Amino acid sequence: MGKNEWDEYAEDWDSNSDVQSYADKAYAQLLKHCDIDGKTILDFGCGTGVLTNRLSEKAQRVVAIDPSTKMIEVLKGKSLPRVFTISNYLSERLINEQPELSNKFDIIVASSVCAFLPNYLEMLTLLKSLLKTNGTFIQWDWLAGNDSSMGLSENTVQQAFKRCQFSDYQLSTPFDMNSPKGTTRVLMAIGKN
């Protein structure tokens, strides 16, 4: 794969305490809503695997996918047990070619990824197709503010979950992240296939 705009962040990603704290908070929320023991999990847009690492302790298997080869290199360097990495963009074609994507997943997580997708709705449809019946999809993103320069709005996410026909979906803002620039809310959305 060619160079990716996220590659430059890979080396220092794990040493950012906000990144670790975001993953801790997201993971705590996941455990509140899902039993991950012995489950198969797809970590979509896994980056260097800060969340993958936490998931791998209890899951049966985690498939961690990210288009940034540098991010995936850092994750591979961790040699996490029960983790299989894929350095590529997720597509219909990749699903057909990649054996690790041939079995459906109990849970799919996307932590701070969906706001960066060129076509969120299309990707959500593809991700849903990778879930087992009754499987769970969960995402966390910055809640878009009035300037809407980053993150996703509740309306965008709600409409997408509706269009994709997720059942029992719920949106909430379960935690905040603080920085010198202020407080940013994190939007969580969870739905079932």
Ligand X SMILES: C[S@@+](CC[C@H](N)C(=O)[O-])C[C@H]1O[C@@H](n2cnc3c(N)ncnc32)[C@H](O)[C@@H]1O
Among 29, 62, 66, 138, interactor with ligand X by CB under 6 A: 66
Cβ closest to ligand X, residue 91 vs residue 134: 91
- 113 lies in the binding site for ligand X (CB under 6 A): yes
> Any contact of residue 75 with ligand X (CB under 6 A)?
no
- Which span (109-117, 127-135, 150-158, 183-191) binds ligand X, by CB under 6 A? 109-117
Q: Minimum distance from CB of 71 to ligand X (Å)?
A: 5
Six-digit token string for 48: 């260097």
Give the other-Cβ count within 10 Å of 150's Cβ: 13
Instruction: Candidates 68, 85, 136, 193: give the one binding ligand X (CB under 6 A).
Output: 68
Position among 59, 71, 143, 152 found at the interface with ligand X (CB under 6 A): 71
Question: Quick one: residue 154, left, alpha or beta (phi over 0 = left, psi -120 to 50 = alpha)?
Answer: alpha
Angle at 45 between CA 112 and CA 43, to 5 degrees: 100
Site string (78-107) toward ligand X, x via CB under 6 A: -----------x------------------
Question: How many Å apart are CA 127 and CA 191, to the nearest integer?
Answer: 12
Whole-angstrom Cα distance, residue 67 to residue 4?
Answer: 7
Q: Which is nearer to ligand X, 31 or 134 (CB)?
A: 31
Q: Is 175 in the site for ligand X (CB under 6 A)?
A: no
Strands of 105-111's sheet, edge to edge?
83-87, 61-66, 40-44, 105-111, 131-142, 182-192, 167-179
With H, G, I as helix, E, B as strand and everything else as coil, classify residue 92.
Answer: helix
Residue ranges that bind ligand X, judged by CB under 6 A: 6, 19, 23, 45-47, 50-51, 66-68, 71, 89, 111-113, 116-117
